């Protein structure tokens, strides 16, 4: 797989580089303004972007934001992203009036060496996410007409067979950006011969979302620590009542089988934080997992669980964490995620935060990002990589035919 640094070494001055970035940031629009609440993904895109600028490339950035329905929608415009990118780069970053039409063509034509423009949300084009190869190919042709080279730095999208991720790479000489190369390097260490003990922490709401990665990881990990809403289906499989907690009844038998097959590796909570409702001023009650009252929801792991999980993490030399331990967005339920995050940060060895809500939690809780070995930008992509699935965006980069 050719890297962007190899591309730069070959010479990119004056060339138009179509840079697919992952700028899918969370926005708060409650005040009527669309305010970015976490610019981590934008900042993660800067090393590749700045390297191309410094080498004199004319950088055409493409990205998606949210899930528009294949047509322009002001709620999903990349305008706030263009503004933040301009602040971070300290140069103007004009936003094209469209994605791949006359507005994009005009924005690209106006670029000089070292300049940057941002195309409007690629998902404003229905063909971007189409399952029809011809439709995606036609859009990829329009993208390719805007550039001479293609660089993919959007690790969070490499598991998607989308026009701006996959198809355009078949039409232009291509390379992996620095972020993608780093993600690949770190995750390969997890799937190769990780230094042991190797501990994985999984959270999030549903077992069904993580079942494939659990099945894939259990033969290789030393311990699998399970928190978040998904733990209640495992607790139900052990015969515990879970009150009004999140429960996937159709997955109870699957969890029972996993516990029977690998119960010595799976570590479940011993206490949970419960409340009647998911509200910021909730009255909470910490109870053992054997005694969750009817009418209460488990919304975070309890202090004894944090201590238990931290004990397993203290001896680990390799850790992968994906998914919060509770509803960390609300103050009464932050403690479990904070405690586990701090224990992961203290690991002497490789600690990997697997993107998505876990990365957001690190930043929202004010934790030191530098304390972790690597914070992935792609939650879904990192999980699929660990499952051993082929990721289309990586597979096409490894093909040197274009």
d(C-alpha 52, C-alpha 19), whole Å: 10
d(C-alpha 4, C-alpha 69), whole Å: 32
**pLDDT of the residue at 401:** 44
Under 8 Å CB-to-CB from 242, ≥6 apart: which residues? Answer: 232, 235, 236, 292, 298
pLDDT in tens, 209-224: 899 999 999 999 999 9
d(C-alpha 390, C-alpha 11), whole Å: 31
The annotation places the binding site at: 22-24, 41, 64-67, 123, 160, 210, 298, 329, 355-358
pLDDT in tens, 143-154: 999 999 999 999
The annotation places the binding site for ATP at: 210, 298, 329, 355-358
The superfamily CATH assigns to domain 4-182+391-400 is Phosphoglycerate kinase, N-terminal domain (3.40.50.1260)
Based on the residue annotation, tell me whether 311 is a catalytic residue of this protein.
no
Structure tokens that stand for 233 in this block = 């289906």
d(C-alpha 275, C-alpha 281), whole Å: 10
The annotation places the binding site for substrate at: 22-24, 41, 64-67, 123, 160
DSSP string, 10-43: H--TT-EEEEE------EE-TTSS-EES--HHHH
pLDDT in tens, 225-242: 999 999 999 999 999 999
**pLDDT of the residue at 360:** 87
Question: Out of 326, 354, 356, 393, which one is annotated catalytic?
Answer: 356
Give the residue range(s) of CATH 3.40.50.1260 domains in the chain. 4-182+391-400, 196-348
DSSP string, 300-337: EE-HHHHHHHHHHHHT-SEEEEES-SS-TTSGGG-HHH
Contact yes or no for 64/20 (Cβ under 8 A): no
- Helix H segments across 349-388? 356-364, 379-387
Based on the residue annotation, tell me whether 356 is a catalytic residue of this protein.
yes
- 265 to each of 68, 73, 214, 220, 315, how far by Cα in Å? 41, 47, 11, 10, 15
400 φ, ψ to 5°?
-90, 15
Question: Out of 196, 206, 256, 389, which one is annotated catalytic?
Answer: 206
Side-chain-facing half-sphere of 364: CA atoms under 13 Å: 20
**pLDDT of the residue at 400:** 59
Find, among 367, 276, 354, the residue nearest to 328 by Cα.
Answer: 367
Domain 196-348 annotated CATH 3.40.50.1260: yes
Based on the residue annotation, tell me whether 380 is a catalytic residue of this protein.
yes
For residues 378, 381, 383, 386, the Cα torsion angle rounded to the nearest 10 degrees is: -120
Q: Residue 270: which pLDDT band, with cuts at 50, 70 and 90?
A: very high
pLDDT in tens, 319-375: 999 999 999 999 999 999 999 999 999 999 999 998 778 988 998 899 999 999 999
Question: Out of 15, 20, 41, 338, which one is annotated catalytic?
Answer: 41
pLDDT in tens, 281-312: 999 999 999 999 999 999 999 999 999 999 99
Tell me, yes or no, if the pTM score tops 0.85.
yes
């Amino acid at each position: 797989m050719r890297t962007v640094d190899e591309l730069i070494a070959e010479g990119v001055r004056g060339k138009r580089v179509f840079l697919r970035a992952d700028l899918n940031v969370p926005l708060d629009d409650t005040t009527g303004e669309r305010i970015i609440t976490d610019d981590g993904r934008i900042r993660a895109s800067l090393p590749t972007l700045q390297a191309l600028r410094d080498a004199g490339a004319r950088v055409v950035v493409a990205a998606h934001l949210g899930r528009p329905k294949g047509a322009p929608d002001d709620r999903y415009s990349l305008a706030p992203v263009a503004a933040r990118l301009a602040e971070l780069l300290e140069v103007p970053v004009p936003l094209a009036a469209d994605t791949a039409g006359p507005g994009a063509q005009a924005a690209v034509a106006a670029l000089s060496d070292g300049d940057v423009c941002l195309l409007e949300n690629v998902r404003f084009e229905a063909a971007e996410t189409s399952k029809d190869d011809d439709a995606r190919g036609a859009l990829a042709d329009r993208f390719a007409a805007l550039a001479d080279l293609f660089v993919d730095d959007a690790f969070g999208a490499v598991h998607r067979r989308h026009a701006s991720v996959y198809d355009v790479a078949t039409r232009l000489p291509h390379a992996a950006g620095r972020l993608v190369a780093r993600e690949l390097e770190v995750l390969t260490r997890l799937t190769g011969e990780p230094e042991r003990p190797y501990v994985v922490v999984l959270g999030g709401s549903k077992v069904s979302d993580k079942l494939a990665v659990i099945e894939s990881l259990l033969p290789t990990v030393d311990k699998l620590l399970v928190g978040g809403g998904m733990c209640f289906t495992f607790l139900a499989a052990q015969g515990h009542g879970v009150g009004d907690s999140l429960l996937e009844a159709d997955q109870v038998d699957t969890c029972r089988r996993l516990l029977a097959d690998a119960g010595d590796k799976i570590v479940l909570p011993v206490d949970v934080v419960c409340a009647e409702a998911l509200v910021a001023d909730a009255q909470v009650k910490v109870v053992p997992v054997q005694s969750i009252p009817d009418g209460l929801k488990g919304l975070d792991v309890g202090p004894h669980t944090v201590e238990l999980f931290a004990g397993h993490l203290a001896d680990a030399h390799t850790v992968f964490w994906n998914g919060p331990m509770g509803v960390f967005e609300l103050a009464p339920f932050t403690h479990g995620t904070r405690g586990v995050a701090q224990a992961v940060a203290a690991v002497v060895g490789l600690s990997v935060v697997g993107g998505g809500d876990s990365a957001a939690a690190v930043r929202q809780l004010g934790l030191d990002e530098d304390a972790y070995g690597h914070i992935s930008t792609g939650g879904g992509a990192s999980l699929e990589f660990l499952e051993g699935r082929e990721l289309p965006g990586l597979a096409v980069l490894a093909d040197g035919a274009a």
